[in-house]
């Protein structure tokens, strides 16, 4: 059993191996977390190497600062700010980008963050606790239709409307302000559940993804990663649920194919525009041994692609 707030990095060696680290290269860790992947990258970098790590969580940034490694530059921001951050740092291109998506174990296991129904805590769910609206604040003003849309789109919950209506009804007796309140409301509204899964799981996932704009952040950053990679640079992305993985899979697939041209266009196959990415291997998943010591790894999927020499 892992200690509370301990973070077990998923697909650690597989992801770092996929980057094919060069000792003097420049790499980006889009989600520092507690530094598992970053530390493994730093171990392979030489004195001239450089790692730029992003994280929205002030606690993660503090953990990175405690390392005191001059090769590590920390950026307190979502990874969608990659373009602006690299410009400010005077970095034109990088040799690899790693994105470990979703929420970290310390965020889930810290009851005060309001990420989990395992604790009765303020309904926050922000990855960056220094800015933005909490879930409780949003729920206080959102309409039933808005809540339904979020639960359906981000949680894939078939009882989305019933949950949204129950939340709206509960507001008449006061704000839905804690994780315990929300979990109890959802538990009554969801008529059936998957075996072994709490009925509030999908709703909590939906609100967390929505309030942090996780899918929008991912959609924005992927084209930037490709544009910023050097030729033969690697993009490695670890997803934890189907919504994320669908975005990554489609993006890498589309970027690894030649553009679709009008039918019957008189052009030779050799003259077709070439894609900007080439796929590297098949999607990788944690083995049974890793899942046995870290149950949260069971849904992880790692996809890797390499930058071709085609100009952006």
User: Which tokens hold the place of 33?
Assistant: 């977390």
Could you tell me the strand order of the sheet in which 72-76 lies? 72-76, 50-55, 26-29, 94-100, 229-239, 301-307, 277-279
Angle at 65 between CA 59 and CA 71, to 5 degrees: 135
Q: Is 107 annotated as a binding residue?
A: yes
Cβ-proximal residues to 68 (8 Å cutoff; 6+ apart), any chain: none
Q: Is 128 annotated as a binding residue?
A: no
Select from 218, 204, 217 the least CA-distant residue to 135: 204
Q: Is 87 annotated as a binding residue?
A: no
Please provide the size of the chain in residues.
312
Q: Is 11 left (phi over 0), alpha (psi -120 to 50) or beta?
A: left
- Please tell me whether residue 28 adopts helix, strand or coil conformation: strand
Tell me the HSE value of 304 on the side-chain side, using a 13 A CA sphere: 19
> How many Cβ atoms are within 10 Å of 178's Cβ, its own excluded?
17
Cα–Cα distance measured from residue 229 to residue 241, given in angstroms and rounded to the nearest whole number:
26
Q: Is 36 annotated as a binding residue?
A: yes
Q: What are phi and psi of 252, to 5 degrees?
A: -65, -40
Angle at 35 between CA 32 and CA 36, to 5 degrees: 120
Q: Which residue positions form the known binding site?
A: 35-37, 55, 79, 100, 107
List, as residue ranges, the binding site for S-adenosyl-L-methionine.
35-37, 55, 79, 100, 107
């Amino acid at each position: 059993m892992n200690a509370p707030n301990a973070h077990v990095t998923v697909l650690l060696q597989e992801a770092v191996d996929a980057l094919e680290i060069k000792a003097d290269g420049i790499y980006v860790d889009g989600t520092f977390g507690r530094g598992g992947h970053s530390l493994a990258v730093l171990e392979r970098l030489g004195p001239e190497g450089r790692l730029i790590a992003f994280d929205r969580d002030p606690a993660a940034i503090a953990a990175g600062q405690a390392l005191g490694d001059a090769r590590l530059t920390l950026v307190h921001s979502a990874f969608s700010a990659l373009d602006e951050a690299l410009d400010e740092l005077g970095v034109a291109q990088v040799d690899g980008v790693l994105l470990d998506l979703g929420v970290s174990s310390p965020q889930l296991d810290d009851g005060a963050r309001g990420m989990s129904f395992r604790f009765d805590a303020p309904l926050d769910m922000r990855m960056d606790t220094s800015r933005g609206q909490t879930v409780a604040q949003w729920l206080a003003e959102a309409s039933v239709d808005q809540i339904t849309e979020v639960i359906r789109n981000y949680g894939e919950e078939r009882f989305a409307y019933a949950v949204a209506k129950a939340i709206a009804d509960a507001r008449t007796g006061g704000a839905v302000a804690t994780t315990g309140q929300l979990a109890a409301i959802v538990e009554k509204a969801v008529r059936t559940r998957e075996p072994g899964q709490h009925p509030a799981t999908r709703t909590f996932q939906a609100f967390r993804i929505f309030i942090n704009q996780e899918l929008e952040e991912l959609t924005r950053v992927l084209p930037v990663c490709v544009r910023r990679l050097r030729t033969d640079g690697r993009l490695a992305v670890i997803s934890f649920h189907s919504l994320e993985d669908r975005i990554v899979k489609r993006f890498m697939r589309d970027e690894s194919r030649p553009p679709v041209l009008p039918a019957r266009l008189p052009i030779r196959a050799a003259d077709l525009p070439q894609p900007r990415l080439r796929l590297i291997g098949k999607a990788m998943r944690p083995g049974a041994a890793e899942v046995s010591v870290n149950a949260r790894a069971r849904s992880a999927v790692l996809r890797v692609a390499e930058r071709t020499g085609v100009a952006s």
